[in-house]
Structure 1
């Protein structure tokens, strides 16, 4: 579903991402963890085509993001760490705008908007301008927009930041549903307890380099993910 091969991204004289290779398969929730500045966001922005990278290759459902960016983008959704939405739009206009971009049929989009807006209890808020939304409400709107075209792959950068406990619980269930239906999730997080309970696989990055990856059991063994992460960070 997502294959990263020898990815290198350089800023000045610093390698922000240094020869990173990962393979996220259908059905997997794959966590991506590391300290601030480790290269997580740079990696995610490279995957989704926001950043050009210096060498390596990224394939989404078998297509190169370099060679076929539009075809790749039809198959995934991306939620950044700070959703940059169009504040002048109302919530419902924004969702319809995203649905138009992805060619979602009217009846299908209305059903999905209704379903997810009711789940996140923001139905009545969709008529308001996004400028009036709290950070948590913007995050919920970004989540609904990501799910509206039923993508095969969802990329998320710190998706639980700003969500209340109920919304975070709902998002975890939505993530699992995507993977149970043959999709895949790749997301960064600082919430190690969530990653440990939710993820099928995890990768730890430090200074742009991959230092450990695999199934949760392979990575943490008999320890907690937090203990392993802190030990690797201290080395």
Structure 2
């Protein structure tokens, strides 16, 4: 579903954020992307989402190049950033209808999806309010609902659990499992290693823009915790 080959991104000034990174995320995978601050996680995710240009390598989504067919690739995915900066002058329902329009979701399907997701994330009563009145957690919930409105084949998330209350975090985990059970793929960054270990079937650890460990959770941990592995390969502890 998502194939990254030899991805390299260097910023002005010569700083290499991602170097020769290769990953393969298949349908049904919940894939954790782990690393310290500044390791290159967000840069990689923005390249996948088509937001950030890259210098070398290839990114394919469902067999299509993000460079050659960006619109078709984006139609199959949803991206949830680490900071939910969205249109504050819209109401919640206006924002969700806008996203549904972008992805061509029918009127019948969007009504059903919005009703279900808003109830699950407990923001139904706030959908008529301006987004400017929303807390960070409510904005995060709204962005998640917007991402799920077309039930994408690939879901890309950058620190998705930050700002969510425990119940909303559990709701999101359950939805992630359901999506992958229906053949979607999920690739997300997180600093919460316990969540990654319990939720994901695969993981990759990145350090200074380079892949230092990757594979199934069983292959990586080998009876130890993901936290122990992370400290060993990244910090040398």
Relative to the length of structure 1, the TM-score reads 0.99
Shift of 1:150: 1.2
Partner of 1:197: 198
Helix, strand or coil at the partner of 1:154: strand
Helix, strand or coil at the partner of 1:127: coil
Partner of 1:44: 45
Shift of 1:4: 0.2
Partner of 2:208: 207
Aligned residues: CA RMSD: 0.5
Number of residue pairs aligned between Structure 1 and Structure 2: 235
Partner of 1:137: 138
Alpha-carbon distance between aligned partners in 2 of 1:19 and 1:214, rounded to the nearest angstrom: 17
Partner of 2:126: 125
Partner of 1:227: 228
Partner of 1:102: 103
Alpha-carbon distance between aligned partners in 1 of 2:119 and 2:42, rounded to the nearest angstrom: 31
Alpha-carbon distance between aligned partners in 1 of 2:151 and 2:121, rounded to the nearest angstrom: 18
Shift of 1:195: 0.1
Runs of 4+ in 1 over 2 A off after TM superposition: none
Is residue 7 of structure 1 aligned with residue 11 of structure 2? no
Shift of 1:159: 0.1
Unaligned runs of 5+ in 1: none
Is residue 217 of structure 1 aligned with residue 218 of structure 2? yes
Partner of 1:152: 153
Alpha-carbon distance between aligned partners in 2 of 1:185 and 1:84, rounded to the nearest angstrom: 22
Shift of 1:184: 0.3
Alpha-carbon distance between aligned partners in 1 of 2:192 and 2:101, rounded to the nearest angstrom: 34
Partner of 2:114: 113
Shift of 1:14: 1.7
Matches within 5 A, 1:33-112: 33-112=34-113
Shift of 1:15: 1.1
Shift of 1:234: 1.7
Unaligned runs of 5+ in 2: none
Alpha-carbon distance between aligned partners in 2 of 1:49 and 1:107, rounded to the nearest angstrom: 29
